[in-house]
Amino acid sequence: MGVESDEWKSVEREEEKRGEMMACRQLWASRAASYLRISVFHRSFSHVVKDLKYADSHEWVKVEGNSATVGITDHAQDHLGDVVYVELPEVGATVTQGDSFGAVESVKATSDINSPVSGKVIEVNEELNSSPALVNSSPYKDGWIIKVDLSDSGELNNLMDSEKYSKFCEEEDSH
C-alpha cells in the first residue's frame, strides 16, 4: 500500500495509455514514411520508474527481499522496435551481472538481454512465448522477463537509480 502501490497503479495507467498512443502514432508514422519512402524513428520521451534500478545495457530490476524481477526498459523497447520473439532461459539457470541470459528479436535483429543481477532463475514469463509484444506495451509490468533469487545483493550498488538512468538515456540519444 502507500507510495509504492500508487506508483505501480500509475505505471499501469501510463502503460495502458502508451499502448493506445503507440498504436495510433505508429500507424500514422508508418503510412507517412511509406508514402515518402523514408525510415521512421520513434523518438518518444522514455518512461522511467522511480524505485527500480537500471543497468547501462537498458535492463531494469525490481528487488523484493532476496528476489528480483528483471525486464528491459521503455527506452530499450522503443529503440528495438516491435518485439516478435523472446528467447527465455531455463528455470534453474544461473545468471551473472552483466552477462547475457536471453535475447529479444525485433525486426531483423536479435539483441542480447543482459542480467543486471547475479543469482538463479526461479521463474520466467511464459506469457512472452505467445505475446512477445508485452515487452513493448508493458515493459515494466506485464513484459517482465525473469525472476531471480539473488546471490549478491551488494551488486545493486553497481546499478543506476532512475534519475541517473534518465540522464544516461538522454546523453545516449543526444549523440
Partner 1 sequence: MAVMGKAKEAGLPLMKLVKLRGMPILQQLHLEERLLRTSSDNWCLINDGTNSPAIVMGLSGKLSELVEAKPVLRDCIPIIRRFTGGGTVVVDHDTIFVTLICNKDAVPNVQPFPRSIMSWSGLLYSEVFEGLADFHLRENDYVFGDRKFGGNAQSITKNRWIHHTSFLWNYEVKNMCYLKLPAKAPQYRLTRSHMDFICRMKEYLPRSEFIERTIKALGSQFSVKSISLESIDFSSVSEYVHTTKLLTEQEIQETCTIQT
Q: What share of the chain is helix, strand, coil (3-state, %, to 5)?
A: 40, 25, 35
Q: Closest Cα to residue 11, out of 163, 141, 135?
A: 141
Whichever of 5 and 175 has its CB closer to partner 1, that residue is 175
Q: Cα Rg for the chain, rounded, in angstroms?
A: 16
Q: Count residues near partner 1 (CB under 8 A).
A: 27
Q: Does 30 bind partner 1 (CB under 8 A)?
A: yes
Are 120 and 93 in contact by the 8 Å Cβ rule? The answer is yes
Locate 112 and state its grid cell. 542480447
CB of 148 to partner 1, least distance (A): 18
Q: Does 172 bind partner 1 (CB under 8 A)?
A: yes
The per-type count for the chain, helices as H runs and strands as E runs, is: 5, 9
Q: Closest Cα to residue 30, out of 20, 41, 21?
A: 41
CB of 104 to partner 1, least distance (A): 9
Q: Which listed range, 1-9, 31-39, 88-96, 134-142, lies at the site for partner 1 (CB under 8 A)?
A: 31-39
Chain CA centroid to CA 126, Å: 16
CB of 29 to partner 1, least distance (A): 12
Q: Does 41 bind partner 1 (CB under 8 A)?
A: yes
Per-residue mark of binding to partner 1, 76-115 (x: CB under 8 A): ---xxx--xx-x----------x-x--x-xxxxxxxx-x-
CB of 4 to partner 1, least distance (A): 30
Are 129 and 102 in contact by the 8 Å Cβ rule? The answer is no
CB of 3 to partner 1, least distance (A): 33
User: Is residue 109 packed enough to be buried (19+ CB in 10 Å), middle (13-18) or exposed (0-12)?
Assistant: exposed
Q: Does 130 bind partner 1 (CB under 8 A)?
A: no
Residues that bind partner 1 (CB under 8 A): 30, 34, 37, 39, 41, 57, 79-81, 84-85, 87, 98, 100, 103, 105-112, 114, 172-173, 175
